[in-house]
Amino acid sequence: MKTLPVRASAVGSSADDSAAADTDRHLRWLLAAPHRLGFFAAAAMLATSALWWTGVLFSRAWGYSLAWAVSPPAAHALLMGWGFTPLFIAGFLFTAGPKWLGRPPVDARCLLGPVMLMLGGWCLVLPGLHLSAHLAGAGMALVAGGWSRLCWRFVAIVRASRMSDQTHPRGVAVACVVGAATMWVAAGALVTGDVALLRTATQIALWCFVATVFVIVSHRMIPFFSASAIPALDAWRPMWLLWVMVAALWIEASGAVAALGWGPLPAALRWAQAAVEFPAAALLLWLALRWGMVQSLKIRLLAMLHGGFLWLGIAFALAAVSHLLMALTDGQQSLGLAPMHALTMGYLGATLLAMATRVSSGHGGRTLAADNTAWAMYWVLQAAVLMRVVAALWPAGATSFTLLAVLAWSTATVAWALRYGSWFLRPRIDGRPG
């Protein structure tokens, strides 16, 4: 009888050791490839930021007042702009970048320190947004430090390459360095309480870092994927097209910064913005057709990429109409945040979901296709974008449509994080390394 507790304890200890060993084994798979580590961290932040903002909006709708150390719009832009996208970019760049540049594969273990630094930083930023701007600033400095280290490593890969064509990776490297600089500025702005500087940093990061990286990758990958899957299409991507798209983004950044720094812009500048945005929208919408958007509808995974890119043209079209209205009404009328959410949730969100799904499937040894689950997630996300744009265009229904939009966004992103996050903790199903 006296031995029974010992046996029970031994059994319990064995079970605990086995569970700990299983956990350790699963976590070790995150270091099997760069996309596993980057995407897993990004998925965690994607789900966290979605649930956080859902809680914020429903608390507001139900009349609960949350404590804020940073203004809610600035906090929203900070977390939704930088919380998960750079980590997804890192996972993609250190997987595809060495192939673009003819360099050896990157060992994911060398990325672990910077990625953990960024995650640790966000663990301080999120409560700091509600409790202490200084805490948020300290956390943002950790994020900036981690991203700066990742940028340094990617720039080193670019510099070591002997490939003749380095246009796309060099463009991405420049945008990533801009992202690092704006993160440091944001950290300083949080510590000093300078909301205007914080919003300026997030706007520059949105247009000159995140959107620029996505446009560069879209220019390189969408025509290539389309031509590979549909023989009737060609991989048409002249370099002048890339520079025109990037220039349009940076011009938008200039307008956003000017509006933040000098208040309402005069009608002449609004006319100038519209004069750039209308042709840009026409070019991008035509380009969506030229790259095979219609033909891609038969292939789900390809259609997901094209559907995301279509939102870029729609965003510029909405921005053109909005700035035209502002020019005609002395700033009294506009389309509100419709253009911004068409860009961020539509182009960036849908493209991220499509590209991350493609990389996760292909590098997980699975069929390079969107199954019913991935297809459903994508359309729930598209519904979220549409409802958020409608909320901006229809003030009378803004609250209802905004809440529906954030619920749909959270459903799609949390479901993606749970499903694909579990893939990164397991070996490839085809038994190959990576």
State how far the Cα of 76 lies from the Cα of 56, in Å rounded to an integer. 10
Tell me the CA distances in angstroms from 434 to 41, 385, 391, one per residue in order.
17, 34, 43
pLDDT number for residue 430? 82
The predicted structure's pLDDT at residue 7: 46
Distances (CA, A) of 393 to 62, 335, 336, 390: 23, 6, 7, 5
What dotted CATH number matches 34-423?
A: 1.20.210.10
Domain boundaries, the chain: 34-423
Question: Taking the CA atoms of the chain, what radius of gyration do you get in angstroms?
Answer: 23
Tokens 């070790």 label which residue?
28
* pLDDT (0 to 100) of residue 429: 87
3-state SS, residue 162: coil
Contact criterion met (CB below 8 Å) for 426 and 29: yes
Look at residue 3 in the predicted model and tell me its pLDDT. 43
Low-confidence ranges of the chain (pLDDT < 70): 1-25
Q: How many residues in the chain?
A: 434
Query: At which residue do the structure tokens 């200039």 appear?
Result: 254
Listed in sequence order, the residues at least 6 apart from 395 whose beta carbon sits closer than 8 Å to its beta carbon are 336
**pLDDT at position 8:** 45
| pTM to 2 decimal places | 0.93
Contact 34, 98 (CB under 8 A): no
**Residue 3 is which amino acid?**
T
Give me the phi and psi of 299, to 5 degrees please. Answer: -120, 110
Nearest to 206 by CA among 255, 279, 146: 255
Check residue 193 and give left, alpha or beta (phi > 0: left; psi -120 to 50: alpha): left
Q: Is 368 helix (H, G, I), strand (E, B) or coil?
A: coil
> CA 237 to CA 186: how far, in whole Å?
35
Give pLDDT tens digits for 357-393.
Answer: 999 998 888 888 899 999 999 999 999 999 999 999 9
Helical spans, DSSP H, in 102-166 = 109-131, 133-160
pLDDT recorded at residue 363: 87
Pair of tokens at residue 348: 């960036």
231 near 223, Cβ under 8 Å?
Answer: no
Q: What is the pLDDT of residue 2?
A: 43
